[in-house]
Amino acid sequence: MLIAKEVTKEYKSGEQTLAVLKNVSFDVPQGSFIAIVGPSGSGKTTLLGLLAGLDRPTRGTVMLEDVDLGALDENARARLRGEKIGFVFQTFQLIPTLTALENVQVPLELRGTAGAEDRAKDLLERV
């Protein structure tokens, strides 16, 4: 389960404080899919970054499977992202100088997947 509880994100610039998210709370049961929609500037990207552990909330908590993402160090959050979190983007996030196979293989290798090339080939055959 993913739980956001009273999540607030603020950015400071000198004396000014800009609250991008204010007290956002919701639960996403395991196995569910969600869509985050809203107008430009409404905080969607900021919220996604907090839910993925890319950033920490100013206040509030983000829990994934009973783990408080804000309490983890950067390395632990990166490991958790690699194992538990996925995003579907509107545009492909591919490295243009790599082949399709290499674009699939590189994340598998970074994750330490044994037989990354064979796994990448298998995944590409499925699509």
Per-residue pLDDT, 49? 92
Judge whether residue 45 has pLDDT over 80: yes
Domains of the chain in sequence order = 2-84 (3.40.50.300), 89-127 (no CATH)
Give just the sign of the alpha carbon dihedral 47, 49, 53, 55. negative
Q: Helix or strand or coil: residue 92?
A: coil
Using pLDDT thresholds of 50, 70 and 90, give the confidence band for residue 33.
confident
Instruction: Decide: pTM greater than 0.75.
Output: no
